Structure 1
Amino acid sequence: MRMKTKIVFMFLALLVVLVLGCIDQKKDIVPNDGNISNYEFEVFLNESGNQTLANTTTYYLLENNTKVQVVHIAVNTSKLEIYPPETLGGGREEDPIQDFVLLAEPANETTATPQTFEELSRRNETSDLNYNMTQEISRNMKVVNLEFEEPVTGFIAYTLKTPGTRGFAVLKPDSEFIRVVLPEGYVTGNRVFGIARPEPANVTFDEKGRQTLLWISSKMGEREEAIQVKYYTKSAPLYFSIAIIALLCGVALVLLNYAKSKKELESVRGIFELEKEYYQRQRRRK
């Protein structure tokens, strides 16, 4: 009887621990409202040329490399899963989502056309739609769930923290098109300084001269769950080449100086040998 009581007690204790753990792993988030003018609401069309829109996630990397601005083109979307770059290892930042901006309408009341999104991008006030945002730890990674009461169509923008390095990594979002816009004056693609993995489907430069990388989710392999971009200043390869040339010139000068010194030493040694031989001959004559 005592054994049964002990087993029941242990089972109840384990159940309490599991429940408390689940409660601790999931919590509500109330992001602060952002300024519409801080974001770029670009109406990105797919490559088919038929002027249709698809779910698109664009990451605008900032030059201070401590934050990244994210803008979603949402088409009939009711839920987004957001994986903050800084917390892929299971970190617990208190405010993973900052400067939240919503420019959208219920999907059943609007049509996903370029004109609709152009009108939304010109708005001065955010949309008053009900949503719920929660944070939880899943597979040792932080995930933020953004859920709407009904499907919406429009722009969803927010800011995420990044580790503060010249590299960007994020799990592949649930979007057909994924874009990464590098800061002005920065590029990627040099195997010495950094490349993008997996290889992007397209690389272009926008009107501001920023390098823009594009991935098409349906064309990526199942194992390509994460996107990584290491970038550097445009002048880095040039300065590196100059440094290498200067180093090689320095090495060449050292070798030339060594060869010259060696030749001079051999000449002195030759003179010394001649003098030695001369003295030896003088001694023999005596």
Structure 2
Amino acid sequence: MNRYFVLVMCTLCLVIIAGGCIDDLVPVNKEDSQQELSAYEFDLFLNNSYDDEGRFIPTHTFYLSRNESARVVSIVENESLIDVIPLEDLSTPRDGAVSNVVVLGDISESTNVTPTSLSVFSMSKEPYDVNYTITEDVIRGQKHVFITFEHPVTGFVAYTMSKPLGHDFMYVTTPPSVVRFVLPQGYTTGNPLIGKVKPSPDRVFYDSFGRENLVWYNELESTGLLNFFGRSSPDGQREIDPIPKLISVKFYTVNAPRDLGIATFILGAFAFLVFSRYRAERKRLEQLRKDIEEQVIVPKKKGKE
């Protein structure tokens, strides 16, 4: 009976594992018709979004939340493919890593990525009608979700990505790019004991809602030894390969350091009381042992006399 039970459990485990592997290996092609415009903030954030020669640098804003999702709003130019690397663990759903894709923009041939055009797009009341597909693939053991547009678009591309439960978030940049994290209202980061942020942001500010904003400028240019390993372009100039940067942040409530301090004080006081009582009880027992030994030894001495 036990052998049959073990055999059934092993078969069930193999079926579950095989089902998961098949789901990872076979790309999922689907159309996402849901477009909820009100779920996003199309803020015209163009901080260092143009280089010295006036070329546009893709700008990505991640609106972090307390739950298992993050809202992403990217400003792109002539982009036909968005590569999303979702963060997953046992708490994240297997399906729906990316949802509610909304585009406020136009076909790249019909517009330019200027502050004026982006301002018009940000105030649009209807999403741009563009066909796209969402596919999944596993590359080097890491799941990727690709949003592929029928035609290259310029403007705002927003989507919701799932993330593990908790107040941690990581993102791998694609330089050159400008990356902004917007923490939930009432949250902060940077405390070495509670929540760290790596690397340190290039800029920190608070928006009109009182939310903390962290900004990184992930430049493509490099100097020194990295130039030696660059590639040569057809015109003979050295080209620097993009070097991704891992950004990780752990955020917590503004009152968390104070609460941690109070909890530490209470635990410390309790530990001190326990230790003091232990020492007092130990001294009492030692004194009691000495008194008993004296009472036993003294009568023996008198008896010998």
Residues 58 and 75 of structure 2 are in contact (CA less than 8 Å); yes or no, is this contact kept in structure 1? Answer: yes
Give the whole-Å Cα distance in 2 for the aligned partners of 1:49 and 1:105. Answer: 20
Sequence identity of aligned pairs in percent? 32
Alpha-carbon distance between aligned partners in 2 of 1:115 and 1:161, rounded to the nearest angstrom: 32
Q: 1:75 aligns with which of 74, 77, 84?
A: 77
2:58: which partner in 1?
A: 55
Q: Distance in 1 between matches of 2:168 and 2:69?
A: 12
- Within a 5 Å distance, the mapping from 1:221-240 to structure 2 comes to 224-240=244-260
In the TM superposition, 1:27-38 aligns within 5 A as: 27-38=28-39
Over 3 Å counting, the alpha-carbon distance change for 1:80 and 1:261 in structure 2 is closer
Counterpart of 1:178 in structure 2 is: 179
Go from structure 1 to structure 2 and tell me whether the alpha carbon gap of 1:48 and 1:147 turns closer, same or farther (over 3 Å shift): closer
SS of structure 2 residue aligned to 1:251? helix
Question: Aligned to 1:86, what secondary structure does the other structure show?
Answer: coil
Going from structure 1 to structure 2, the CA distance change for 1:262 and 1:84 (only over 3 Å counts) comes to closer
Task: Give the number of equivalent residue pairs.
Answer: 260
Q: 1:204-255: CA deviations, max 9, x gaps?
A: 3222222222222216996654332222222222222222211221222223
Over alpha carbons, which structure has the higher Rg? 1
Alpha-carbon distance in structure 2 between the residues aligned to 1:157 and 1:94:
19
**Secondary structure in structure 2 of the residue aligned to 1:168:** strand
Change (3 A) 1:217 1:263: same
User: Once the 2 structures are TM-superposed, how far is the Cα of residue 262 of structure 1 from its aligned partner?
Assistant: 4.2
Residues 175, 220 of structure 2: 8 Å contact kept: no
8 Å contact 1:31–1:97 — kept in the other structure?
Answer: no
Tell me what 2:163 maps to: 162
TM-aligned CA deviation for residue 101 of structure 1? 0.8
Larger CA deviation: 139-148 vs 275-284: 275-284
Q: Could you say which residue in structure 2 is the equivalent of 1:3? A: none
| 8 Å contact kept, 2:107–2:151 | yes
Alpha-carbon spacing, 1:164–1:173, altered in 2? closer, same or farther (3 Å): farther
Q: Closer, same or farther in 2 for the Cα pair 1:27/1:262, shift >3 Å?
A: closer
Q: Which amino acid in 2 is paired with 1:256?
A: S
- Kindly provide the amino acid, as one letter, of the partner of residue 189 in structure 1: G
Paired with 1:198 and 1:241, the residues of 2 have a C-alpha distance of 26
- Unpaired runs of 5+ in structure 1? 1-20
Match of 2:203 in 1: 202
2:267 to 233, 247, 252: 247
Q: Distance in 2 between matches of 1:207 and 1:108?
A: 35
Partner of 1:261: 281
Equivalent pair of 1:63/1:184 in contact (CA under 8 Å): no
The correspondence of residues 63-102 of structure 1 with structure 2, limited to 5 A, is 63-64=66-67, 66-86=68-88, 93-102=94-103
Does 2:44 match 1:43? yes
Pair 280,202 (structure 1): closer, same or farther in 2 beyond 3 Å = same
Change (3 A) 1:264 1:143: closer
User: Which amino acid counterpart does residue 78 of structure 1 have in structure 2?
Assistant: S
- 1:280 to 1:214, Cα distance in 2 relative to 1, 3 A: same
**Worse-matched range after superposition: 105-114 or 38-47:** 105-114
Contact 1:33–1:99 (8 Å) recurs in 2: yes
> What is the correspondence of 1:93-112 to structure 2 with a 5 Å cutoff?
93-112=94-113
1:114-125 paired onto structure 2 within 5 Å: 114-125=115-126
Question: Quick one: distance in 2 between partners of 1:143 and 1:48?
Answer: 26
Distance across 1 between alignment mates of 2:301 and 2:201: 83
Distance of 2:149 and 2:279 partners within structure 1: 77
CA distance in 2 between partners of 1:57 and 1:49 (Å): 14
Dislocated runs of 4+, deviation >6 Å: 48-52, 219-223
Q: Check the 8 A contact 2:138/2:144 in 1, yes or no.
A: yes
SS of the aligned residue for 1:26 comes to coil
Structure 2 length-normalised TM: 0.71
Shift of 1:267: 5.1
- Structure 1 residues 223 and 257 mapped into 2: Cα distance closer, same or farther (>3 Å)? farther
Partners of 1:198 and 1:224 within 8 A in 2: no
**Structure 2 equivalent of residue 137 of structure 1:** 138
Partners of 1:93 and 1:265 lie apart in 2 by 62
Q: What is aligned with 1:187? A: 188
TM-score, normalisation: structure 1:
0.75
